[in-house]
Amino acid sequence: MRALPRVKASPAFKSEVFRALRTDRAMHTERRPAFMWRVAASFAMVVLLIAVTQIGMMQYRRQQQLETLRAEQQQIQAELAKVKKSVGDAEPVVVLENDKGNRVVMDIDSAVQPASYRTFD
C-alpha cells in the first residue's frame, strides 16, 4: 500500500458521501412501511386462517350432532313401529284391581260368556 501513489479526495467528496447517506436513509425509511404492511398482511392472514378453521370445526360438530340425532330418530321410529305391531297382535284383556292391590287379568275372549241364553221380553 505504501508503494501506491497518494491520491487526494476531490473537494466534492464529502458532499457526495453525505448525499449518498441521505439517499440510503431515504431508501431504508421507504422499506419500513413496506415491511410493516407485510407484517400486517401476514397477521391478518393468520387470523383469517384461524377463523376459517374455527368455523369449519363448528360446522363439522353440527353435522355430527345432526347425524347422531337422525340415527336416534330412526331408532326411535323403529322401536315405535315394533311397539305398534305388538299392540296390534296382542289379545284383548281386562285388568281388575281392588284397593288392597289384588289384581286379576282376564282374557276377554275366554272371559266373555253369555250369562243366559234366555231373553226377557
Q: DSSP 3-state assignment of 97?
A: strand
CA distance 29 to 23: 10
Cβ pair 109, 91 in contact under 8 A: yes
pLDDT in tens, the chain (121 residues): 677 777 777 778 888 888 887 877 666 655 566 788 889 999 999 999 999 999 999 999 999 999 999 999 999 999 999 998 887 777 777 788 888 888 887 777 665 555 555 555 4
* For the chain, domain boundaries: 13-111
Alpha helix positions (H), the chain: 13-89, 108-111
Q: Cell numbers for 62, please give them.
A: 353440527
